[in-house]
Amino acid sequence: MDLQIHIPADEQAINPVCNFAYSWCLNCGLSEQEASKFTTAVSELVTDIILFAFPQSENKFVDLTFRQTLSDIELIASEAGEPFDPDKHRYNPENALNNGDFEGAGLRIIRRFTDDFLFINKGKEGKEFRLRKEVNIHDIDELIELSRSLKPKEPEKEPTKVSYSISQITPADAEDIAKLIYRTYEYSYTKEDLYFPKKIEKTLTGKEKLGVITRSDEGEALGYFAILPKEDSNIAEVGEAVVSPDYRKQGIMSNMMEQLIKVGREHNLEALYGKAVTIHPVSQRVNQKFGFTSTGLMLLETNNVVFKGFDEEYPQPVSVVIDVLPLQENDPKDVYLPAKYHQILTETYQRLGISITPKKSNGYKLAEKSDADLEINYSDSTSDIIVNKYGPDFKSVLREMLNSLLEQENPNAIYLDLPLENEATPLQLKELEGLGFIYCGLAPYFHQDADYLRLQKICTSFDFDLVDVHSDFGQQIKSFITNEYSKNS
């Protein structure tokens, strides 16, 4: 959940921001001591921005985004003040002791009181500072290992035959959903928030997820399946699927998927999409069965995949296939397809049944400055840069963002989304030569209901042979990416 505050570059704004930050930290689950430390870091950052980024502070503003997940909190401060290089302002203890020179002390405090401190230079778009702190609600990893070591191996037994019905989930189902997750996975499910009924209830009340629950005629919860609407577009991700082990092989999962597709259409969603792991083809086969089309292959997308029954540790971050199911018919949309990827993008559109009119770029006008959003997934060590507008500074802005991520985050992969309905995309793609990006796939309706070309930059070594892709077209995409990766290596 994001909370956004727009404050003036005025010293009078510092105390109210810090008071809010402290209360917010406590509400997010930090202890009083950790909340105080994080608030101190926030205070240092906001103070430095207000005092030094805007020498002429009249009518200048700072945007603050307070972002919360179950496992961490993050403050994102965005401003368009004077250029700044943090490497030029490092703290020197000897200068502080001997000369009273405390330059860089504020940045040192920020780094000590947070788990991650990231600076992103976005050129004419300004600068971005990100402060992150882990929230240790409980040590889920210890619980996972404990449950694995204590759980005896049980012989497989025949599933219990049962009559059941499927209905849409409501906040009242929250506790049963948490119990279903535990009974099926104990503490090995990767989405930790599903162990907390209050968290589930909150997301259902806020319509942050839509889904169905399966119950026996006696009212026992047997299965749960949900789709998660994207905040910036009218599509939803298929995820959070579970069937109680005693009631599998009775068509419950398939029937829930059918109901989910109906729910998506009833809510007028443009499409459903899934990220099917390539460690084995089971989830890919399920998606194919219901008409999903593979549109991309995201290499090294997640570190956080746990599979029961796999004794050996998977030797690299897990890649995922993007599967998409359009839910509505569309009028032909104008798209500008780069020549390099014209054929594979056109075939992807055809397989999806999405009507397009390919256009050629003719004398487009760049925006005054580039505009790009950055999403960082700290736990998976990946980032996604979403381009909104191209300016003359596009390549330099992108290079600065990449350098910041590579120097500070040590990512597995960096993804880049380019708008296909923007006339500038084909020629701007040529500006990316030498930056190490290769094809990832088509991301239809992924941002602001528009289609995007997703590229990827692989930042660590991996083995393509371990990436198991099921569908024929998915294998075609994999082959295309493999060839391009080989040429760029």
Rg (CA), the chain: 24
The predicted-structure confidence for 91-144, as pLDDT tens digits, reads as follows: 566 665 566 655 667 788 888 999 999 999 887 788 899 999 988 754 444 444
**Is the model more confident about 59 or about 449?**
449
Q: State residue 334's pLDDT score.
A: 96
Question: Which of 65-74, 112-121, 233-242 is the least confident region?
Answer: 65-74
Under the banding of pLDDT at 50, 70 and 90, the label for residue 190 is low
Q: What interhelical angle do 174-185 and 197-205 show, nearest 10?
A: 130
Under the banding of pLDDT at 50, 70 and 90, the label for residue 147 is very low
What share of the chain in percent tops pLDDT 90? 60
Under the banding of pLDDT at 50, 70 and 90, the label for residue 250 is confident
Q: How many CB atoms lie within 10 A of CB 98?
A: 9
Domain(s) labelled CATH 3.30.565.10 in the chain stretch across 1-137
Q: State residue 303's pLDDT score.
A: 79
- Cβ(443)–Cβ(295) below 8 Å: yes
pLDDT at 159 over 90: no
Strand 318-326 to strand 61-68: parallel, antiparallel, or no bridges (unpaired)?
unpaired
DSSP string, 219-273: --EEEEEEEEE-TTSSEEEEEEEEE-GGG-SSSHHHHHHHHHHHHHHHTT-SEEE
Q: State residue 286's pLDDT score.
A: 85
Q: State residue 272's pLDDT score.
A: 97
- Cβ(14)–Cβ(21) below 8 Å: no
Provide the 8-state DSSP code for 139: -
- Cβ(391)–Cβ(418) below 8 Å: no
Q: State residue 281's pLDDT score.
A: 79
What share of the chain in percent tops pLDDT 70? 88
Quote the CA–CA distance of 342 and 387 in Å, as a whole number. Answer: 20
DSSP string, 68-117: E-SSEEEEEEEE--S---GGGS---HHHHHHH---TTHHHHHHHHTSSEE
Under the banding of pLDDT at 50, 70 and 90, the label for residue 145 is very low
pLDDT at 360 over 70: yes
Strand 72-79 to strand 127-134: parallel, antiparallel, or no bridges (unpaired)?
antiparallel
Q: What is the mean pLDDT of the chain?
A: 87
Q: State residue 225's pLDDT score.
A: 94
Quote the CA–CA distance of 267 and 257 in Å, as a whole number. Answer: 15
- Cβ(169)–Cβ(224) below 8 Å: yes
Q: H-helix or E-strand containing 46?
A: helix 32-48
- Cβ(295)–Cβ(322) below 8 Å: yes
Quote the CA–CA distance of 116 and 397 in Å, as a whole number. Answer: 22
Provide the CATH number for the domain formed by 1-137 in this structure: 3.30.565.10
Q: State residue 99's pLDDT score.
A: 60
Q: Which of 76, 75, 68, 74 is nearest to 28 (CA)?
A: 68
The predicted-structure confidence for 411-450, as pLDDT tens digits, reads as follows: 999 999 999 999 999 999 998 989 999 999 999 999 999 9
pLDDT at 24 over 80: yes
Q: State residue 307's pLDDT score.
A: 47
**Is the model more confident about 55 or about 32?**
32
Q: How many CB atoms lie within 10 A of CB 270?
A: 18
- Over residues 231-249, mean pLDDT: 89
Under the banding of pLDDT at 50, 70 and 90, the label for residue 158 is low
376 backbone dihedrals φ, ψ, rounded to 5°:
-110, 125
Q: State residue 379's pLDDT score.
A: 83
Amino acid letter for position 241 = A
Class of the domain covering 140-269: alpha beta
Q: State residue 101's pLDDT score.
A: 55
pLDDT at 149 over 70: no
Under the banding of pLDDT at 50, 70 and 90, the label for residue 313 is low
Domain(s) labelled CATH 3.40.630.30 in the chain stretch across 140-269
**Is the model more confident about 190 or about 29?**
29
Task: Give the tokens for residue 223.
Answer: 């299965």
Quote the CA–CA distance of 404 and 395 in Å, as a whole number. Answer: 14
pTM of this prediction? Answer: 0.81
Under the banding of pLDDT at 50, 70 and 90, the label for residue 69 is confident
Q: State residue 140's pLDDT score.
A: 40
